[in-house]
A and B are shown apart, each in its own frame.
Chain A
Amino acid sequence: MRPLLALLTLAVVSASAQAADFVVDQKGNQFAPRKLSVKVGDTVEFRNTDTTPHNVFSLSAPKTFDLGAFTKGQSKKVTFDKPGVVEVECAIHPEMKMSVEVKD
């Protein structure tokens, strides 16, 4: 039992070492959470858990990006490198909105 547990802990630790600093879920045609506060240099992973494809984009000055369309189970990462408020939307479903506050 013990070695297995240790192994598992190790696996979890190394996985999180590579993971993003934050995860934003896309579920039920909504972002969760809808507001996020991060520090300059932090990486946010956008993950789609819906069966329908979603998009993630922003035209805000501190970070302009377009992640294209991605399907269930896929995720894409964005690193926020300048301070400010970044309004994030799904282009396919304009009701899906969230904002990321990037602090110095």
Chain B
Amino acid sequence: MTCRRNAPRFLAATLATSLAALAPAFASDAIVDAQGDTVVVAPGHASLQKWLLPETAPSPADNVTTPERVALGKKLFFDPRLSGTGRSSCATCHLPERGWSDGYPKSIRFMGEVMTRASPTLVNTGYNTIQQWDGRSPTLEHQAANGMSATGSMNGGSEKPVTGVANIGRIKGYVDAFERAYPGEPLNVATLAKAISAFERSIVSRNSPFDRWVRGDATALTAEQVRGFRVFIDPAGGNCSVCHAPPNFTDNGFHNLGLMSFGEDNPDVGRFKQRPVALLKGAFKTPTLRDVALSAPYFHDGSARNLREVVDHYVTGGQVRSNLSPNMRPLALGPEDRAALVAFMEALTTPTEVFVYPVLPP
């Protein structure tokens, strides 16, 4: 054997020895996660099942999800006649091909006016218990009704904002569809909001490589992605799951991450406007991370262009620390752990079938 061929072997041997030195940390696959639960990082392990979402998102008693309601809501979601100008639909800012967000750092209304925040993804939003970056909507129905109002995201911005709600009642196809979906209920803002919400509850991602790995498919994740998951849940690593908690990668809670924009004059105070409690100044809702690779840019202010920049932000422990969440601190993560975190988040995307746009009634 030549020296050259021996070199890799020598390297491998050294690597093995140095890995052995790290043994205490890696010896067992068990880890106490950010929830304080002992979990075993192995495909299909019982302790990981808490990450799986139920098959369908829960729906309220007065708007139980039915296929008719979802189909009707899907039409309305894509119909610009729902807006006062007839030029904006919900999908203007929540596009299926952009991870149900819009690809802009901050959303842009039909008149070109830039909104103050980024469009959040709608993926799995039906599983969450509070809506909007600042939680001002307790339910999807509440959010949809607000969005359709004259000053809501569908309208507003113009000099004389009007709502397009009345348009819908004049379209026979909708009147009939409402009669089937909500027999005996009037066609008004409340029922429009119900139908749209039923559709939103059907925007579900629960079959990502990570989900398949949790169900027991050992080949679903790469070794790097498994490493990323470990970093994600390890309180001494990324400590991500303390906020991006199972099953939907959110605690439905509010945190100030010390983003640069909080240091500006008159910053967006987020949740504080809804609940004037000191620690909520600059706090925003923890978003889900399923399908997150599809919805760049990131954060409520669109300040991170990609997932690598998100991770870099967390590694710094937050830039503006005047009201930082107690869960934020500089992270001792090397380049490999950071790359692994990104790789893990990329494994949270459910492979999509081609999205079929609805046919709108004439």
Contacts and interface: CB of A to CB of B under 8 A. Distances in A.
Interface of A: 29, 50-53, 55, 57, 59, 66, 68-69, 71, 89, 91-95
A94 B242 contact: no
A95 B280 contact: no
B129 interface: yes
B327 A52 contact: yes
B38 to A, nearest CB: 12
B339 to A, nearest CB: 27
Contacts of B129: 94-95
Nearest to B235: A51
Interface string B214-256: 0000000000000000000001000000110000000111110
A93 B271 CA distance: 11
Contacts of B243: 52
A68 B251 contact: no
B308 interface: no
B242 A55 contact: no
Contacts of A95: 129-130, 252
Interface of B: 34-36, 129-130, 135, 235, 242-243, 251-255, 271, 275-280, 283, 325-327
> Chain B CB within 10 Å — which of A50, A52, A53 has the most?
A52
Contacts of A53: 325-327
21 contacts: A29-B251, A51-B34, A51-B235, A52-B242, A52-B327, A53-B325, A55-B279, A57-B275, A57-B277, A59-B275, A66-B278, A68-B279, A69-B326, A89-B275, A91-B275, A91-B280, A92-B254, A92-B283, A92-B325, A94-B252, A95-B129
A69 B253 CA distance: 13
A91 B327 contact: no
A91 B34 contact: no
Contact of A94 (B36, B135, B276): B135
Nearest to B252: A95
Interface SS of A by simple majority: loop
B34 A55 contact: no
A93 B278 contact: no
B275 A71 contact: no
B58 to A, nearest CB: 14
> Chain B CB within 10 Å — which of A29, A55, A94 has the most?
A94
Contact of B36 (A50, A89, A91): A50
B235 A55 contact: no
Given A55-B279, A66-B278, A69-B279, A93 B242 contact: no
A57 B326 CA distance: 17
A51 B36 contact: yes
Contacts of A93: 251-253
Contacts of B242: 51-52
A94 B130 contact: yes
Contacts of B275: 57, 59, 89, 91, 94
Contacts of A69: 279, 325-326
A28 to B, nearest CB: 8
A50 B34 CA distance: 10
Nearest to A71: B326
A52 B253 CA distance: 11
Given A71-B326, A94-B135, A55 B251 contact: no
> Chain A CB within 10 Å — which of B129, B243, B255, B278 has the most?
B278
A69 B304 CA distance: 27
Contacts of B255: 92
Contacts of B253: 92-94
Contacts of B35: 51-52
Contacts of B271: 91
B252 A52 contact: no
| 9 tightest A-B CB contacts, nearest first | A91-B277, A51-B36, A93-B253, A53-B326, A69-B326, A92-B253, A57-B277, A52-B242, A91-B280
